[in-house]
Amino acid sequence: MRFFFPQAHREIDWTQKPEFLDKELQQVVRDAELGKRLVDKLVKIYRSGGEEVWVLVHIEIQAQEESDFTQRMYTYNYRIYDRYKRSVASLAVLGDERATWRPNQFGYQLFGCTVDFQFPIVKLVDYQQRQSELEASRNPFATVVMAHLAALETRNDRLQRKQQKLTLVRRLYEQGFEREDVLNLLAFVDWLLTLPQDLEREFRREVEQLEAEQRMRYITSFERFGIEKGKQEALVKGISLGLKLKFGSKGQNLLPEIEQIEDVNLLEAILEAIDTASTVEELRQIYQPATE
Protein backbone atom coordinates (compact mmCIF):
# COMPACT_ATOMS: atom_id res chain seq x y z
CA MET A 1 0.00 0.00 0.00
CA ARG A 2 2.82 2.41 0.82
CA PHE A 3 4.58 1.73 -2.45
CA PHE A 4 1.68 1.49 -4.91
CA PHE A 5 -1.12 3.50 -3.24
CA PRO A 6 0.54 6.08 -0.94
CA GLN A 7 -2.55 8.27 -0.61
CA ALA A 8 -4.64 5.37 0.69
CA HIS A 9 -1.74 4.31 2.92
CA ARG A 10 -1.77 7.70 4.65
CA GLU A 11 -5.44 7.30 5.56
CA ILE A 12 -5.01 3.90 7.24
CA ASP A 13 -4.45 3.43 10.97
CA TRP A 14 -1.49 1.06 10.93
CA THR A 15 -1.46 0.73 14.71
CA GLN A 16 -4.33 -1.74 14.23
CA LYS A 17 -3.27 -4.96 12.55
CA PRO A 18 -4.88 -5.67 9.16
CA GLU A 19 -7.03 -8.81 9.00
CA PHE A 20 -7.06 -10.93 5.85
CA LEU A 21 -10.57 -12.10 4.96
CA ASP A 22 -9.82 -15.03 2.68
CA LYS A 23 -12.94 -17.02 3.62
CA GLU A 24 -15.19 -14.04 2.99
CA LEU A 25 -13.67 -13.46 -0.43
CA GLN A 26 -13.98 -17.14 -1.35
CA GLN A 27 -17.67 -17.04 -0.43
CA VAL A 28 -18.24 -13.98 -2.60
CA VAL A 29 -16.47 -15.63 -5.55
CA ARG A 30 -18.63 -18.73 -5.19
CA ASP A 31 -21.82 -16.70 -4.90
CA ALA A 32 -20.96 -14.68 -7.99
CA GLU A 33 -20.00 -17.80 -9.96
CA LEU A 34 -16.76 -16.14 -10.97
CA GLY A 35 -14.71 -19.29 -10.81
CA LYS A 36 -11.15 -19.49 -9.53
CA ARG A 37 -9.40 -16.12 -9.19
CA LEU A 38 -5.71 -15.82 -8.41
CA VAL A 39 -3.89 -13.44 -6.10
CA ASP A 40 -6.95 -11.48 -4.99
CA LYS A 41 -6.93 -10.34 -1.35
CA LEU A 42 -9.67 -8.89 0.82
CA VAL A 43 -8.37 -7.13 3.91
CA LYS A 44 -10.12 -5.46 6.85
CA ILE A 45 -8.40 -2.27 7.99
CA TYR A 46 -9.26 0.85 9.99
CA ARG A 47 -9.03 4.39 8.73
CA SER A 48 -7.26 7.00 10.80
CA GLY A 49 -10.63 8.34 11.97
CA GLY A 50 -11.60 4.95 13.38
CA GLU A 51 -13.92 3.78 10.58
CA GLU A 52 -13.74 0.08 9.74
CA VAL A 53 -13.35 -0.47 5.98
CA TRP A 54 -12.55 -3.40 3.73
CA VAL A 55 -9.99 -3.22 0.94
CA LEU A 56 -10.05 -5.50 -2.08
CA VAL A 57 -6.57 -5.75 -3.53
CA HIS A 58 -6.69 -7.38 -6.94
CA ILE A 59 -3.38 -8.24 -8.61
CA GLU A 60 -3.73 -9.03 -12.28
CA ILE A 61 -0.66 -10.61 -13.91
CA GLN A 62 -1.26 -11.21 -17.60
CA ALA A 63 0.27 -10.49 -20.99
CA GLN A 64 -2.80 -9.28 -22.83
CA GLU A 65 -6.00 -7.36 -22.41
CA GLU A 66 -8.93 -9.05 -20.68
CA SER A 67 -12.26 -7.75 -21.95
CA ASP A 68 -14.31 -8.38 -18.80
CA PHE A 69 -11.76 -7.18 -16.25
CA THR A 70 -13.62 -4.02 -15.20
CA GLN A 71 -16.89 -5.92 -14.96
CA ARG A 72 -15.24 -8.47 -12.71
CA MET A 73 -13.85 -5.72 -10.46
CA TYR A 74 -17.31 -4.17 -10.23
CA THR A 75 -18.89 -7.55 -9.46
CA TYR A 76 -16.40 -8.18 -6.65
CA ASN A 77 -17.04 -4.75 -5.18
CA TYR A 78 -20.82 -4.79 -5.12
CA ARG A 79 -21.01 -8.46 -4.04
CA ILE A 80 -18.81 -7.75 -1.04
CA TYR A 81 -20.81 -4.67 -0.13
CA ASP A 82 -24.14 -6.46 -0.65
CA ARG A 83 -23.16 -9.44 1.47
CA TYR A 84 -21.34 -7.71 4.34
CA LYS A 85 -22.54 -4.08 4.15
CA ARG A 86 -18.99 -2.75 4.39
CA SER A 87 -17.36 0.07 2.47
CA VAL A 88 -15.02 -1.50 -0.06
CA ALA A 89 -12.07 -0.03 -1.94
CA SER A 90 -11.01 -1.96 -5.05
CA LEU A 91 -7.39 -1.52 -6.16
CA ALA A 92 -5.68 -3.17 -9.12
CA VAL A 93 -2.01 -3.80 -9.92
CA LEU A 94 -1.55 -4.70 -13.59
CA GLY A 95 1.54 -6.57 -14.74
CA ASP A 96 0.72 -6.85 -18.43
CA GLU A 97 2.82 -5.27 -21.18
CA ARG A 98 0.10 -3.23 -22.93
CA ALA A 99 0.92 0.37 -22.01
CA THR A 100 -2.39 1.58 -23.46
CA TRP A 101 -4.62 -0.88 -21.58
CA ARG A 102 -5.73 0.95 -18.45
CA PRO A 103 -9.05 -0.51 -17.27
CA ASN A 104 -10.23 1.62 -14.35
CA GLN A 105 -13.97 2.15 -14.88
CA PHE A 106 -17.14 0.15 -15.36
CA GLY A 107 -20.56 1.62 -15.90
CA TYR A 108 -23.63 2.13 -18.03
CA GLN A 109 -26.68 4.38 -18.39
CA LEU A 110 -30.30 3.41 -18.93
CA PHE A 111 -33.44 5.57 -18.69
CA GLY A 112 -31.70 8.18 -16.57
CA CYS A 113 -30.14 5.56 -14.28
CA THR A 114 -26.33 5.75 -14.19
CA VAL A 115 -23.79 3.29 -12.82
CA ASP A 116 -20.23 4.64 -12.68
CA PHE A 117 -17.68 2.48 -10.84
CA GLN A 118 -14.11 3.79 -10.90
CA PHE A 119 -11.06 2.30 -9.21
CA PRO A 120 -7.33 3.11 -8.97
CA ILE A 121 -4.86 1.06 -10.99
CA VAL A 122 -1.08 0.75 -11.10
CA LYS A 123 0.69 -0.29 -14.31
CA LEU A 124 4.05 -1.90 -13.62
CA VAL A 125 5.35 -1.04 -17.11
CA ASP A 126 5.09 2.65 -16.16
CA TYR A 127 8.06 2.09 -13.87
CA GLN A 128 10.28 1.52 -16.90
CA GLN A 129 10.59 5.31 -17.00
CA ARG A 130 11.19 5.51 -13.24
CA GLN A 131 14.24 3.26 -12.84
CA SER A 132 16.19 5.83 -10.84
CA GLU A 133 13.27 6.11 -8.42
CA LEU A 134 13.19 2.31 -8.01
CA GLU A 135 16.93 2.14 -7.42
CA ALA A 136 16.75 4.83 -4.74
CA SER A 137 13.80 3.26 -2.91
CA ARG A 138 14.28 1.08 0.17
CA ASN A 139 10.77 -0.30 -0.10
CA PRO A 140 10.97 -4.08 -0.80
CA PHE A 141 8.38 -3.72 -3.56
CA ALA A 142 10.85 -1.65 -5.56
CA THR A 143 12.84 -4.86 -5.93
CA VAL A 144 9.70 -6.77 -6.87
CA VAL A 145 8.94 -4.28 -9.65
CA MET A 146 12.56 -4.24 -10.84
CA ALA A 147 12.55 -8.04 -11.08
CA HIS A 148 9.27 -7.99 -13.00
CA LEU A 149 10.61 -5.43 -15.49
CA ALA A 150 13.86 -7.34 -15.85
CA ALA A 151 11.89 -10.49 -16.69
CA LEU A 152 10.05 -8.62 -19.45
CA GLU A 153 13.15 -6.91 -20.84
CA THR A 154 15.37 -10.01 -20.92
CA ARG A 155 12.87 -12.54 -22.23
CA ASN A 156 15.02 -13.11 -25.32
CA ASP A 157 18.43 -12.30 -23.84
CA ARG A 158 19.41 -14.78 -21.14
CA LEU A 159 22.92 -13.41 -20.74
CA GLN A 160 21.52 -9.98 -19.95
CA ARG A 161 19.04 -11.65 -17.60
CA LYS A 162 21.90 -13.19 -15.66
CA GLN A 163 23.55 -9.79 -15.29
CA GLN A 164 20.33 -8.11 -14.14
CA LYS A 165 19.61 -10.95 -11.73
CA LEU A 166 23.05 -10.57 -10.18
CA THR A 167 22.54 -6.80 -9.93
CA LEU A 168 19.28 -7.34 -8.05
CA VAL A 169 20.88 -9.83 -5.66
CA ARG A 170 23.76 -7.45 -4.97
CA ARG A 171 21.24 -4.67 -4.34
CA LEU A 172 19.38 -6.80 -1.81
CA TYR A 173 22.56 -7.58 0.06
CA GLU A 174 23.49 -3.91 0.19
CA GLN A 175 20.04 -2.66 1.27
CA GLY A 176 20.40 -4.03 4.78
CA PHE A 177 16.96 -5.68 4.99
CA GLU A 178 16.16 -8.21 7.67
CA ARG A 179 17.41 -11.69 6.76
CA GLU A 180 13.90 -13.14 6.33
CA ASP A 181 12.95 -10.29 4.01
CA VAL A 182 16.10 -10.82 1.96
CA LEU A 183 15.43 -14.54 1.58
CA ASN A 184 11.81 -13.98 0.59
CA LEU A 185 12.82 -11.44 -2.05
CA LEU A 186 15.65 -13.65 -3.27
CA ALA A 187 13.19 -16.52 -3.71
CA PHE A 188 10.95 -14.25 -5.80
CA VAL A 189 13.83 -12.99 -7.95
CA ASP A 190 15.13 -16.53 -8.40
CA TRP A 191 11.70 -17.78 -9.47
CA LEU A 192 11.00 -14.89 -11.84
CA LEU A 193 14.41 -14.69 -13.51
CA THR A 194 15.07 -18.32 -14.41
CA LEU A 195 18.27 -19.13 -16.31
CA PRO A 196 19.55 -21.98 -18.48
CA GLN A 197 21.75 -24.39 -16.57
CA ASP A 198 25.06 -23.08 -17.93
CA LEU A 199 24.23 -19.48 -17.02
CA GLU A 200 22.76 -20.60 -13.69
CA ARG A 201 26.11 -22.18 -12.82
CA GLU A 202 27.93 -18.96 -13.74
CA PHE A 203 25.43 -17.00 -11.68
CA ARG A 204 25.99 -19.23 -8.62
CA ARG A 205 29.75 -18.79 -8.85
CA GLU A 206 29.39 -15.02 -8.98
CA VAL A 207 26.95 -15.06 -6.08
CA GLU A 208 29.44 -17.10 -4.04
CA GLN A 209 31.96 -14.30 -4.53
CA LEU A 210 29.33 -11.78 -3.49
CA GLU A 211 28.50 -13.83 -0.41
CA ALA A 212 32.13 -13.85 0.60
CA GLU A 213 32.09 -10.05 0.48
CA GLN A 214 28.75 -9.63 2.28
CA ARG A 215 28.97 -12.66 4.60
CA MET A 216 25.43 -13.74 3.77
CA ARG A 217 24.29 -17.05 2.36
CA TYR A 218 22.18 -17.06 -0.79
CA ILE A 219 19.82 -19.96 -0.32
CA THR A 220 17.22 -20.30 -3.04
CA SER A 221 19.33 -21.14 -6.09
CA PHE A 222 21.48 -23.56 -4.13
CA GLU A 223 18.46 -25.26 -2.61
CA ARG A 224 16.99 -25.64 -6.06
CA PHE A 225 20.33 -26.90 -7.37
CA GLY A 226 20.42 -29.51 -4.61
CA ILE A 227 16.92 -30.69 -5.50
CA GLU A 228 17.80 -30.87 -9.18
CA LYS A 229 21.02 -32.73 -8.40
CA GLY A 230 19.16 -35.31 -6.33
CA LYS A 231 16.61 -35.78 -9.08
CA GLN A 232 19.38 -36.13 -11.65
CA GLU A 233 21.08 -38.86 -9.63
CA ALA A 234 17.80 -40.74 -9.15
CA LEU A 235 17.08 -40.63 -12.90
CA VAL A 236 20.55 -41.90 -13.78
CA LYS A 237 20.05 -44.85 -11.42
CA GLY A 238 16.71 -45.60 -13.02
CA ILE A 239 18.22 -45.41 -16.50
CA SER A 240 21.09 -47.68 -15.45
CA LEU A 241 18.68 -50.33 -14.23
CA GLY A 242 16.51 -50.02 -17.35
CA LEU A 243 19.51 -50.33 -19.66
CA LYS A 244 20.76 -53.40 -17.84
CA LEU A 245 17.38 -55.15 -17.92
CA LYS A 246 16.64 -54.41 -21.59
CA PHE A 247 20.01 -54.26 -23.34
CA GLY A 248 22.42 -56.01 -20.98
CA SER A 249 26.08 -55.03 -21.21
CA LYS A 250 25.55 -53.06 -24.44
CA GLY A 251 23.13 -50.83 -22.62
CA GLN A 252 25.53 -50.33 -19.73
CA ASN A 253 28.10 -48.96 -22.19
CA LEU A 254 25.93 -45.87 -22.57
CA LEU A 255 26.15 -44.95 -18.91
CA PRO A 256 29.38 -42.89 -19.04
CA GLU A 257 27.76 -40.67 -21.66
CA ILE A 258 24.44 -40.40 -19.84
CA GLU A 259 26.08 -39.57 -16.52
CA GLN A 260 27.46 -36.39 -18.10
CA ILE A 261 23.95 -35.11 -18.86
CA GLU A 262 22.69 -32.50 -16.37
CA ASP A 263 19.40 -31.67 -18.10
CA VAL A 264 16.73 -33.35 -15.97
CA ASN A 265 14.14 -33.13 -18.75
CA LEU A 266 16.46 -34.93 -21.15
CA LEU A 267 17.17 -37.64 -18.59
CA GLU A 268 13.44 -38.12 -18.11
CA ALA A 269 13.04 -38.49 -21.88
CA ILE A 270 15.79 -41.13 -21.99
CA LEU A 271 14.23 -43.11 -19.15
CA GLU A 272 10.84 -43.02 -20.84
CA ALA A 273 12.32 -44.04 -24.23
CA ILE A 274 13.91 -47.21 -22.85
CA ASP A 275 10.52 -48.92 -23.07
CA THR A 276 10.07 -48.19 -26.78
CA ALA A 277 13.65 -48.16 -28.12
CA SER A 278 14.57 -51.28 -30.11
CA THR A 279 18.34 -50.78 -30.09
CA VAL A 280 21.01 -48.99 -28.10
CA GLU A 281 21.75 -46.73 -31.08
CA GLU A 282 18.10 -45.73 -31.31
CA LEU A 283 18.22 -44.71 -27.65
CA ARG A 284 21.46 -42.78 -28.17
CA GLN A 285 19.80 -40.63 -30.83
CA ILE A 286 17.66 -39.01 -28.12
CA TYR A 287 20.61 -37.28 -26.47
CA GLN A 288 23.51 -37.47 -28.92
CA PRO A 289 22.57 -34.33 -30.90
CA ALA A 290 22.48 -32.39 -27.62
CA THR A 291 26.06 -33.39 -26.78
CA GLU A 292 27.63 -32.64 -30.14
- Do 284 and 261 contact (CB within 8 A), yes or no? no
pLDDT digits (tens, 9 = 90+) for 144-168: 999 999 988 998 898 999 999 989 8
Residue 48 lies in domain: 6-125
Q: Sorting pLDDT into bands at 50, 70 and 90, what band is 118?
A: very high
**Diameter of the chain measured on Cα atoms:** 86
Question: Would the pLDDT of 36 be above 50?
Answer: no
Domain edge (last residue) among 125, 142, 157: 125
Is 74 found in the same domain as 120? yes
Q: What is the average per-residue pLDDT within 49-57?
A: 79
Nearest to 121 by CA among 146, 152, 99: 99
Is 117 found in the same domain as 146? no
Is 267 found in the same domain as 179? no
Distance CA 194, CA 209 (A): 20
Question: Would the pLDDT of 39 be above 70?
Answer: no
Is 147 found in the same domain as 74? no
Is the four-CA dihedral 196, 199, 202, 204 of positive or negative sign? negative
Q: Whole-model pTM?
A: 0.67
Is 77 inside any structural domain? yes
Question: Would the pLDDT of 94 be above 60?
Answer: yes
Provide the domain count of the chain: 3
For residue 233, the one-letter residue type is E
Percent of the chain residues topping a pLDDT of 70? 86
For residue 60, the one-letter residue type is E
Is 79 inside any structural domain? yes
Is 275 found in the same domain as 203? no
- DSSP codes of every residue in 12-50: B-TTSPPEE-HHHHHHHHHHHT-----SEEEEEEEBTTS
Q: Sorting pLDDT into bands at 50, 70 and 90, what band is 104?
A: very high
Task: Kindly state the DSSP code that residue 180 receives in the 8-state scheme.
Answer: H
Q: Sorting pLDDT into bands at 50, 70 and 90, what band is 291?
A: very low
Packing angle between helix 140-153 and helix 158-175, nearest 10 degrees?
170
Is 97 found in the same domain as 20? yes
Nearest to 199 by CA among 115, 262, 131, 147: 262
Is 243 inside any structural domain? yes
Is 59 inside any structural domain? yes
